[in-house]
């Protein structure tokens, strides 16, 4: 089984390789999901790949962001260049890019951002030229085992590092609220900020890091091909220690060097640890702090600036930090054994002590040394990617309503062409629609390790990823905005796909001018910022430090949805969207009052802006236009 380590810089690359990994993953200056890592220039990539191969280490290059039409040619050219300089694989998220590079003979790995979390997803990948799937991090061991058994392609699983709160590939929190898209590599990490809920305060969306070194043997026995360490934004000491710890454990779980190595690993970066969901669906949040504090040693009682370190793992020369709850009081190096004295003033009381430095880390830095100068002279091949314009017949867009109760369904049916039903008692909802001559679409759960789809092929299905689309073969299939349609090369095998909600007005117009399939655009509702498997977050709201309030609800399958603090409202722009070629307007009224639903439905059916202020008042006083006017970088 391969151990795959992060290399966010030349220093990190050398460190990971000297740590003993079998492969590294890294990025160029564009198209990587860690845009704020140092990353590599084109020439450095060529030199880095040569250096890794000289040490019998494979190199996987990330091209795992969503790609705009205007970037497609450059992205394809970059993938061709990776093939030319000998990269072993590229890691991709964008479905359009996958189509555009299908003829480039390089191995293609499905990023965890592609949201593959089922056997059907793996089968879709195998049929579409993908050689390896990096599974979603939200899966349990039992779910992974079912997916891996007799898999037609390789499976990769995360075992170490940051654990996102939101389900893989579906987080819009940073993008919608902060304007920095995780799907474009610029996540502002809103999950690491403080929030208040009805029963808890603190960093209640901040998961502890994965630490699954004890699971390697079981994963290998299942047939997992590669275990992955997250951490391209972390230090070279982390890259070395993580690579070494997992490589040692992969070869011999009883190796006596593992304990010392993991102790140092937990010192160089530590925000608390968990096993992800491998043990089952459990509470992973470490709500006390979101950042790296090093290894927690103990709570000490300080009097007259003095406290004892007897019986701890602290030694002379170790660096420590002292915290009082959230507040860092200070830090210093341990000068002696036994009782130590703080060099700074500190009020008598109880404090938390963390080890943040160990002299052995300097030994590691010296061992890694200064990286060689990575360079190369291969020129990029000229690549032409033409996305021709198509003839789109202009029609009056239909109205699709997202509904979760029969009462709201009844209120909007007179104004609807289509219902996406996301609630209980689908059969009753469907019959109500049939009686009124309206289409009723079964809205799939956001997360389906085992797909549950109506057997009746006459029932249309709304899906959120390629695995669900594959599982729904034979049905009329609608794609939600979680399918991340970001360019015109996106597959047109669905009956209708919803455009990404991260697109601007100009980008929508350009995509539809070159896309032959049917496309829907979200025009009203509280967009889903996150969907999580966290079993503890409750129905209600969470409030951020700026006072914005985000609704939270649990769906029929028990997953929690965090919604935007205000509603998307594009009633004023329907004519523009119609001229752009949009075939359908999506209006999300799930978990909303009946009267609001009725007024919104009537306003959009009649394109009547006179109701805007009333709708605004009923929605809490604020509305937004999302990315339609502002777009993304």
Residue 35, pLDDT > 90, answer no
The more confident residue out of 450 and 213 is: 213
Question: Which tens digit of pLDDT belongs to each residue from 541-566?
Answer: 999 999 999 999 999 899 999 999 99
- For residue 153, give Cα distances in angstroms to 147, 191, 443, 459: 11, 33, 29, 31
pLDDT of residue 594: 98
**pLDDT category, 33, cuts 50, 70, 90?**
low
Report the SS3 class of residue 163.
Answer: coil
Question: Which tens digit of pLDDT belongs to each residue from 218-271?
Answer: 999 999 999 999 999 999 999 999 999 999 999 999 999 999 999 999 999 999
Q: Which domains does the chain have, with CATH numbers?
A: 2-163+208-274 (3.20.20.70), 398-527+564-624 (3.20.20.70)
Please say whether the beta carbons of 218 and 208 come within 8 A: no
Which of 308-312, 385-389, 391-395 is least confident?
Answer: 391-395
Q: From start to end of 226-338, where are the E strands?
A: 226-229, 273-274, 295-302, 306-308, 319-324, 327-333
Please say whether the beta carbons of 604 and 574 come within 8 A: yes
pLDDT of residue 32: 72
pLDDT of residue 314: 94
pLDDT of residue 138: 96
Question: Which tens digit of pLDDT belongs to each residue from 150-207?
Answer: 999 999 999 999 999 999 889 999 999 999 999 999 999 999 999 999 888 999 999 9
Residue 451, pLDDT > 80, answer no
Question: Which tens digit of pLDDT belongs to each residue from 398-441?
Answer: 999 999 999 999 999 999 999 999 999 999 999 999 999 999 99
Please say whether the beta carbons of 169 and 112 come within 8 A: yes
Residue 572, pLDDT > 90, answer yes
Q: What six digits make up the tokens of 10?
A: 């030349």
- Cα–Cα dist 624/222, whole Å: 47
- Cα–Cα dist 61/27, whole Å: 5
């Amino acid at each position: 089984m391969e151990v795959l380590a992060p290399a966010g810089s030349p220093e990190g690359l050398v460190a990971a390789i000297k740590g003993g990994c079998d492969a590294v993953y890294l990025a160029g200056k564009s198209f990587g999901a860690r845009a704020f890592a140092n990353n590599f220039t084109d020439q450095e990539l060529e030199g880095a790949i040569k250096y890794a191969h000289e040490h019998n280490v494979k190199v996987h290059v990330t091209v795992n962001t969503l790609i705009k039409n205007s970037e497609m040619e450059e992205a394809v050219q970059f993938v061709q260049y990776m093939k030319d300089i000998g990269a072993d694989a590229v890691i991709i998220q964008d479905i359009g890019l996958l189509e555009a590079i299908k003829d480039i003979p390089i191995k293609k790995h499905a990023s965890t951002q592609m949201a593959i979390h089922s056997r059907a997803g793996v089968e879709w990948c195998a049929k579409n030229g993908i050689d390896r799937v990096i599974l979603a991090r939200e899966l349990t061991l039992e779910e992974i085992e079912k997916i891996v058994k007799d898999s037609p392609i390789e499976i990769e699983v995360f075992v170490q590092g940051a654990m996102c709160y939101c389900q893989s590939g579906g987080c819009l929190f940073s993008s919608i609220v902060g304007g920095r898209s995780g799907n474009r590599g610029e996540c502002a990490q809103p999950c690491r900020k403080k929030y208040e809920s009805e029963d808890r305060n603190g960093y209640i969306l901040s998961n502890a890091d994965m630490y699954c070194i004890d699971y390697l043997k079981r994963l290998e026995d299942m047939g997992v091909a590669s275990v992955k360490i997250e951490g391209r934004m972390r230090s070279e000491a982390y890259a070395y220690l993580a690579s070494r710890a997992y490589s040692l454990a992969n070869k011999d779980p009883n190796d006596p060097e593992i304990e010392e190595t993991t102790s140092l690993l937990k010192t160089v970066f530590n925000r608390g640890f968990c096993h992800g969901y491998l043990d089952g669906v459990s509470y992973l949040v470490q709500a006390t702090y979101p950042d790296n504090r090093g290894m927690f040693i103990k709570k000490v009682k300080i009097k007259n600036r003095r406290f004892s370190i007897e019986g701890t793992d602290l030694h002379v020369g170790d660096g420590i930090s002292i915290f009082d709850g959230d507040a860092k009081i200070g830090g210093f190096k341990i000068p002696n054994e036994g009782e130590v004295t703080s060099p700074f003033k500190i009020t008598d009381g109880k404090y938390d002590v963390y080890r943040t430095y160990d002299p052995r880390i300097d030994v590691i830095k010296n061992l890694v040394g200064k990286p060689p100068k990575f360079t190369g002279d291969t020129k990029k091949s000229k690549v032409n990617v033409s996305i021709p314009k198509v003839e789109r017949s202009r029609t009056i867009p239909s109205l699709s309503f997202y509904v979760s109760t029969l009462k709201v369904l009844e209120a909007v049916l007179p104004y609807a062409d289509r219902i996406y039903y996301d609630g209980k008692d689908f059969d009753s909802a469907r019959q109500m629609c049939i009686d009124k001559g309206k289409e009723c679409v079964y809205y799939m759960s956001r997360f389906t390790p085992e797909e549950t789809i109506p057997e009746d092929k006459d029932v249309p299905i709304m899906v959120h990823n390629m695995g669900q689309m594959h599982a729904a073969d034979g049905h009329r299939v609608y794609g939600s905005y979680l399918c991340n349609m970001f360019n015109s090369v996106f597959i047109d095998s669905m009956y209708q796909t919803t455009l990404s909600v991260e697109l601007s007005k100009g980008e929508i117009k350009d995509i539809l001018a070159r896309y032959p399939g049917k496309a829907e655009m979200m025009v009203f509702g509280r967009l889903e910022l996150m969907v999580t498997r966290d079993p503890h977050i409750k129905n209600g709201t969470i409030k951020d430090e700026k006072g914005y309030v985000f609704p939270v609800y649990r769906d029929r399958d028990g997953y929690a949805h965090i919604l935007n603090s205000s509603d998307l409202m594009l009633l004023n722009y329907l004519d523009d969207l119609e001229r752009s070629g949009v075939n359908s307007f999506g209006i999300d009224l799930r978990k909303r009052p009946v009267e609001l639903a009725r007024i919104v439905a009537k306003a959009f059916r009649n394109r009547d802006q006179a109701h805007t202020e009333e709708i605004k008042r009923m929605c809490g006083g604020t509305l937004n236009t999302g990315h339609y006017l502002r777009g993304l970088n």
